C-alpha cells in the first residue's frame, strides 16, 4: 500500500459496537486513511452522507435499516448521498449462508465476517483500486456482477462505474470530472431501471388482472400487488425532474389503484382491476421515445384518473 495515496480518501465507518468501532477507526487512520469518520447508527450515517461525499463505506449490515431498504441499498438506488457507486464493504456478525446472501443482494463490493484485521480491510481496499468489477443494473439490484458464468448478450445492463476511491488513491482525482462521470452513470442507471420497471409493471399488472379474470384469487396475489407498489413508487421517484416527469402522475395513479385493490383484494372493484391494466400499459408506453405513444399514454392517464375521480364514494355502514 506504500505507493498508494490514501490521505484524501473519504471513509465512513458505521459500526454499532463502540468497543470495535474505535480500534478500527484508529487502525484505518494509522494506515493513511486520515479522513475516516465513524458513527454508530443509520441516522448519523445518513446525516453525514448529506454533507460529505464518501469514497468508501464500511458498514455493519445487521444495523442498516433505512425505510424499506438497507442503508447500502438506499445508497445504491440513489436515495442517500450523491454517489451511488462508492466502494462499500458490508460487515457481518453472522456468517451464515442466509446472512451472507442477504448482504450480497444489497450490492456491496465485498462482505467481511467479523472479527477481521485492519490488514484484511486494507487488502480489499487495494483490490478496489487495482481492479473493480463492473456493475449490474436490474430492477431490484445495482452492484458488482458476481456471476461466474457469462451472461447472455443484452440480457442485463453492465456498467463500468466511477471509482473515486481509485482516483484519489492514484492522485488522479478531479472533482469536476468525477461529478460529471457520476451524473452520467446515474443517468444510465435511471434509464435502465425505468425500462425494466416499466416491463415489470406491465407484466405484473397483466398477471394480476388475469388472476382476477379467472377467479384464481389467493393470498399470494398480495405479493404481486406489493411488487407493483414498490415499482410504481420507485419509477415515480426516478422520473421526477426529468424529461419523463409526466410519468410520475401515471405512477401515482397506479399506486392509488393498487392500494385500493389491496385493501379488499379478495373482492376488489372490477373498475379498479381494469384501471390497473390500463395504467400498466400507459406506464410502459410512456417510457418509449415515440411521440405518438407518449401522447397516447397521456390520454390514457387522463381518462383513467377522470374515471377514478368520478366514482361515487362507497360508505361502509
Is the per-residue pLDDT at 279 higher than 50?
Answer: yes
* d(C-alpha 56, C-alpha 31), whole Å: 15
Mean pLDDT of 86-98: 87
Q: In this predicted structure, which of 56-65, 238-247, 306-315 has the lowest mean pLDDT?
A: 306-315
Question: Sign (positive/negative) of CA torsion 73, 77, 82, 85?
Answer: positive
Q: What is the pLDDT of residue 67?
A: 55
The edge-to-edge listing of strands for the beta sheet with 157-159 is 142-144, 135-137, 157-159
Is the per-residue pLDDT at 202 higher than 70?
Answer: yes
Q: Is 216 left (phi over 0), alpha (psi -120 to 50) or beta?
A: beta
Domain spanning 10-173, CATH architecture: 3-Layer(aba) Sandwich (3.40)
Supply the pTM of this predicted model. 0.75
* d(C-alpha 144, C-alpha 228), whole Å: 26
C-beta separation of 56 from 88 below 8 A: yes
Q: Collapse the DSSP code of 245 into the 3-class scheme (helix H, G, I; strand E, B; otherwise coil) and give the result.
A: coil
Q: What is the pLDDT of residue 310?
A: 54
Domain boundaries, the chain: 10-173, 187-310
* d(C-alpha 253, C-alpha 237), whole Å: 14
C-beta separation of 301 from 282 below 8 A: yes
Is the per-residue pLDDT at 171 higher than 90?
Answer: yes
pLDDT in tens, 288-304: 654 434 454 555 555 55
C-beta separation of 50 from 74 below 8 A: no
Cell readout for 79 is: 436515495
Cell readout for 218 is: 389467493
Mean pLDDT of 30-39: 95
C-beta separation of 224 from 204 below 8 A: yes
pLDDT in tens, 151-166: 444 456 678 999 999 9
Give, in order, the Cα–Cα distances in Å from 144 to each of 67, 108, 111: 23, 7, 12
* d(C-alpha 305, C-alpha 98), whole Å: 43
Angle 195-200-201 from CA coordinates, rounded to 5°: 95
Mean pLDDT of 173-192: 91
Mean pLDDT of 67-90: 88
Amino acid at each position: 500500500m506504500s505507493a498508494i495515496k490514501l490521505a484524501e480518501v473519504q471513509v465512513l465507518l458505521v459500526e454499532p459496537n463502540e468497543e470495535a468501532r474505535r480500534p478500527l477507526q484508529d487502525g484505518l487512520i494509522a494506515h493513511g486513511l486520515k479522513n475516516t469518520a465513524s458513527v454508530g447508527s443509520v441516522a448519523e450515517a445518513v446525516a453525514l452522507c448529506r454533507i460529505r461525499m464518501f469514497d468508501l463505506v464500511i458498514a455493519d449490515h445487521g444495523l442498516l435499516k433505512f425505510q424499506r431498504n438497507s442503508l447500502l441499498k438506499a445508497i445504491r438506488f440513489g436515495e442517500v448521498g450523491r454517489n451511488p457507486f462508492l466502494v462499500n464493504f458490508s460487515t457481518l456478525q453472522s456468517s451464515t449462508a442466509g446472512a451472507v446472501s442477504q448482504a450480497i443482494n444489497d450490492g456491496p463490493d465485498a462482505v467481511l465476517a467479523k472479527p477481521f484485521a485492519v490488514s484484511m480491510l486494507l487488502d480489499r481496499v487495494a483490490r478496489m483500486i487495482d481492479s473493480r468489477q463492473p456493475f449490474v443494473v436490474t430492477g431490484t439490484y445495482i452492484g458488482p456482477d458476481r456471476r461466474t458464468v457469462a451472461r447472455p448478450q443484452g440480457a442485463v445492463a453492465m456498467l463500468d462505474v466511477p471509482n473515486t476511491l481509485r482516483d484519489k488513491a492514484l492522485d488522479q482525482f478531479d472533482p469536476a470530472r468525477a461529478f460529471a462521470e457520476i451524473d452520467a452513470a446515474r443517468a444510465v442507471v435511471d434509464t435502465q431501471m425505468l425500462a425494466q420497471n416499466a416491463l415489470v409493471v406491465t407484466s405484473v399488472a397483466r398477471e394480476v388482472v388475469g388472476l382476477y379474470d379467472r377467479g384464481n384469487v389467493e393470498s399470494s396475489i398480495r405479493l404481486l400487488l406489493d411488487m407493483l407498489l414498490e415499482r410504481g413508487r420507485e419509477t415515480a421517484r426516478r422520473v421526477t425532474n426529468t424529461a419523463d416527469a409526466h410519468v410520475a402522475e401515471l405512477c401515482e395513479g397506479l399506486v392509488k389503484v393498487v392500494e385500493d385493490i389491496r385493501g379488499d383484494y379478495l373482492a376488489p372493484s372490477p373498475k379498479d382491476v381494469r384501471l390497473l391494466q390500463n395504467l400498466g400499459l400507459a406506464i410502459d408506453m410512456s417510457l418509449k421515445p415515440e411521440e405518438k405513444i407518449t401522447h397516447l399514454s397521456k390520454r390514457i392517464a387522463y381518462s383513467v384518473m377522470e374515471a377514478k375521480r368520478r366514482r361515487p364514494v362507497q360508505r361502509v355502514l
